[in-house]
Amino acid sequence: MNIKPIKTKADYKAALAVVDGLMSAKLGTPEGDKLDVLVTLIEAYESRHFPMSPPDPIEAIKFCMEQSGLTVKDLEPAIGRSNRVYEVLSGKRSLTLPMIWKLHDMFGIPAESLIRPATHTHVA
């Protein structure tokens, strides 16, 4: 199988090229095993060199709404009346700790995303 650790950008690009050629490999075959190992190595390299921060809280809520087909009415039990939901979604109002916990518990939005400061705020 001739697989080696990914230590440099060149190693990374080479591993990506090999994975590209193995994308149609079937599970349980030597090619499928090679794909599995290379993807694991690539993920480890990417997590060290391209760390991702959690999304902005408002973007996390909007993404959840889009993916789950939620409406403002669906968010009311977690945030409050519809006007408050709109204020949160527009950046006019910050999330409170009880809102964060309810959004996390009810919709599975990661708490680490919800506790971050919003990157865009309302400009009056």
Decide if 95 is inside a domain. yes
Which residues are CB-contacts of 44 (< 8 A; sequence separation ≥ 6)? 6
Decide if 123 is inside a domain. no
Q: Are residues 65 and 106 in the same domain?
A: yes
Residue-by-residue DSSP string for 39-79:
HHHHHHHHHHHS--PPPPHHHHHHHHHHHHT--HHHHHHHH
Decide if 119 is inside a domain. no
- pLDDT, residue 53, reads 79
Q: Are residues 45 and 67 in the same domain?
A: no
* Distance from chain centroid for Cα 58: 13
Burial of 57-81, coded b for 16+ CB within 10 Å and e otherwise, reads bbebbeebbeeeeeebeebeebbbe
Decide if 35 is inside a domain. yes
Q: Are residues 70 and 91 in the same domain?
A: yes
DSSP 119: S
- pLDDT, residue 1, reads 60
Q: Are residues 45 and 84 in the same domain?
A: no
Decide if 1 is inside a domain. no
Q: Are residues 25 and 72 in the same domain?
A: no
Residue-level pLDDT, tens digit, the chain, 124 residues: 678 999 999 999 999 999 999 998 898 899 999 999 999 999 999 999 998 877 899 999 999 999 999 999 999 999 999 999 999 999 999 999 999 999 999 999 999 999 988 765 444 4
Q: Are residues 87 and 39 in the same domain?
A: no
Q: Which domain holds residue 27?
A: 9-49
